[in-house]
């Protein structure tokens, strides 16, 4: 699947991951620090993923 | 995953609340928590006008939206910081948001006044974030008075407050701890009450709300925030939260309800006078902002140049 990471603007290809939980573990991202977006919907950690999908991982962290 | 309330399909899980929500139930949950914080903290009295400081990010826009939707008389205020393209995008996001909702937005542009944040930081030889904070405090207070507002509301969220609390504790900043409150009464007649209605609302919640409600907000971070200490504290707290959900909420809420009182005696017993330069309340002869501006003028004069920010 195509994974777009924002706000960094990176795009990577990930295969063989079946759930959001698995995707976050694969990317080393903590649950709760990002939104996982598919189209117009947010996904929970148990949501199923497929290789032909495009997913956005959007950081929720702000401030400095 | 099912919505804890209606058993419909959930879009969001909030481990801190041991709950999952569909979009409709989350909207209700989010608004109720913000409104309850306002009510319990007596943040805004009936009929008071509220100046909402908006940056173009998710938190301040969410706050403005909730206040306006629930009938509070709001004026949005955006301080254009003069930090290149980032500031241009932030300003556009605020203007778009206000225009789409028919909300009143006032903008003050620092670059137009030749005092962009990068210039102030250069003049003071201080980190940009410190100069930015000084400028924001000055212009927010001034705007609240200019627009007849009794209250200044900012979008500081639970994660901001937890990181700030951790930082204050790490350095035993007892005077800062004494003032870390979601409601700060004005210490001078020319100051207004300052409130943080999102202080118990997490970044995950505000980001989810902003996404679900279709905001076109600025997702990118301020370029000056790279490497900021607050982000280090946030990352540490995120790890604690992942291992023990609800930790941030307990940390901040219990500090406000039980811990803050221990630091009250540490609050500096200072009464504000008036800045001889700008007329705003000040604890010295001139206020921090006017001092910063004077430093910039002196440094420019010494160099015989007029340094201006890019962008």
Q: Model confidence over A15-49: pLDDT tens digits?
A: 999 999 999 999 999 999 999 999 999 999 999 99
Count Cβ atoms below 10 Å from residue B193 Cβ, excluding itself.
20
Parent domain of A26:
2-59
| Cβ of residue A59 closer than 8 Å to a chain B Cβ | yes
pLDDT for position B305: 66
CATH classification of B45-267, choosing from 3.20.20.70, 3.40.50.620, 2.60.120.10, 3.40.50.2300?
3.40.50.620
A55 belongs to a structural domain: yes
Q: Are strands B73-80 and B151-153 parallel, antiparallel or unpaired?
A: unpaired
Mind telling me how many Å the CA of A22 is from chain B's nearest CA? 16
Q: Which two tokens stand for residue A8?
A: 């960094």
Is residue B161 within 8 Å of B196, Cβ to Cβ? yes
A17 belongs to a structural domain: yes
A25 belongs to a structural domain: yes
Distance, CA of B236 to CA of B249 (rounded, Å): 15
Tell me: the pLDDT tens digits for B66-116?
999 999 999 999 999 999 999 999 999 999 999 999 999 999 999 999 999
Least confident of B52-56, B151-155, B186-190, B217-221: B186-190
Does the pLDDT value for residue B187 go beyond 90?
no
Distance, CA of B162 to CA of B155 (rounded, Å): 14
How big, in percent rounded to 5, are the helix, strand and coil portions of chain A?
Answer: 10, 40, 50
Mind telling me how many Å the CA of A15 is from chain B's nearest CA? 23
Q: What's the whole-model pTM score?
A: 0.94
Kindly report the average pLDDT of chain B as a whole number.
93
Tell me: the pLDDT tens digits for B1-38?
999 999 999 999 999 999 999 999 999 999 999 999 99
B129: chain A residues, CB-CB within 8 Å? 64
Does the pLDDT value for residue B282 go beyond 90?
no
Beta bridge partners of B51: B75, B152
Percent of all residues in chain B with a pLDDT value above 70, rounded to a whole number:
96
Does the pLDDT value for residue B307 go beyond 80?
no
- Residue spans of the domains in chain B: they are 45-267
Q: Give me the half-sphere count of Cα atoms (radius 13 Å) on the Cβ side of residue A4.
A: 10
CATH of the domain at A52: 3.10.20
Q: Which two tokens stand for residue A50?
A: 């497929």
Mind telling me how many Å the CA of B269 is from chain A's nearest CA? 29
pLDDT for position B138: 95
What confidence category does residue B311 fall into, taking pLDDT thresholds of 50, 70 and 90? very low
A6 belongs to a structural domain: yes
A64 belongs to a structural domain: no
User: Which chain A residue's Cα is nearest to B21?
Assistant: A44
Is residue B66 within 8 Å of B31, Cβ to Cβ? yes
| Cβ of residue A48 closer than 8 Å to a chain B Cβ | no
Distance, CA of B305 to CA of B135 (rounded, Å): 22
In chain A, how many domains are there? 1
- Burial class of A19 by CB neighbour count within 10 A (0 to 12, 13 to 18, 19+): middle
| Cβ of residue A28 closer than 8 Å to a chain B Cβ | no
Q: Is B159 left (phi over 0), alpha (psi -120 to 50) or beta?
A: alpha
pLDDT for position B264: 83
Angle at CA of residue A15, ends A8 and A23, nearest 5°:
55
Tell me: the pLDDT tens digits for B119-166?
999 998 888 999 999 999 999 999 999 999 999 999 999 999 999 999
pLDDT for position B310: 52
């Amino acid at each position: 699947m195509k994974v777009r990471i924002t706000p960094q603007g990176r795009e990577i290809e990930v295969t063989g991951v079946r759930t959001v939980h698995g995707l976050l573990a694969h990317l080393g991202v903590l649950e709760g620090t990002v939104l996982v977006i598919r189209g117009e919907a947010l996904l929970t950690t148990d949501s199923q993923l497929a290789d032909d999908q495009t997913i956005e991982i959007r950081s929720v962290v702000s401030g400095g | 995953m099912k919505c804890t309330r209606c058993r419909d399909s959930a879009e969001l899980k909030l481990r801190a609340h041991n709950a999952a929500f569909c979009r409709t139930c989350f909207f209700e949950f989010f608004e109720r928590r913000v409104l309850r914080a306002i009510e319990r903290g007596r943040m805004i009295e009936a009929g008071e006008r509220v100046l909402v400081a908006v940056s173009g990010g998710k938190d301040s826009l969410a706050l403005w939206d909730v206040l306006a939707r629930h009938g509070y008389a709001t004026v949005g205020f955006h301080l254009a910081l003069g930090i290149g393209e980032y500031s241009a995008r932030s300003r556009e996001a605020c203007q778009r948001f206000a225009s789409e909702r028919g909300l009143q937005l006032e903008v003050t542009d620092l670059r137009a006044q030749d005092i962009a944040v990068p210039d102030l930081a250069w003049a003071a030889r201080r980190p940009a974030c410190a100069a930015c904070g000084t400028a924001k405090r000055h212009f927010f207070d001034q705007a609240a008075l200019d627009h007849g507002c009794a209250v200044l509301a900012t979008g500081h969220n639970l994660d901001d407050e937890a990181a700030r609390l951790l930082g204050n504790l790490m350095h035993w900043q007892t005077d800062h701890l004494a003032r870390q409150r979601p409601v700060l009464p004005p210490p001078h007649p020319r100051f207004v009450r300052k409130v943080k209605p999102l202080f118990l609302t997490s970044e995950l919640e505000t980001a989810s709300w902003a996404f679900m409600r279709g905001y076109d907000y600025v997702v990118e971070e301020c370029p000056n925030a790279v490497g900021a200490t607050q982000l280090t504290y946030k990352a540490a707290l995120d790890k604690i939260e992942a291992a023990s959900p609800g930790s941030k909420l307990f940390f901040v809420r219990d500090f406000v309800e039980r811990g803050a009182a221990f630091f009250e005696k540490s609050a500096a017993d200072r009464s504000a006078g008036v800045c001889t330069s700008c007329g705003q309340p000040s604890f010295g002869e001139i206020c921090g902002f006017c001092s910063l501006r004077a430093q910039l003028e002196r440094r420019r004069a010494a160099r015989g140049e007029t340094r201006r920010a890019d962008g």
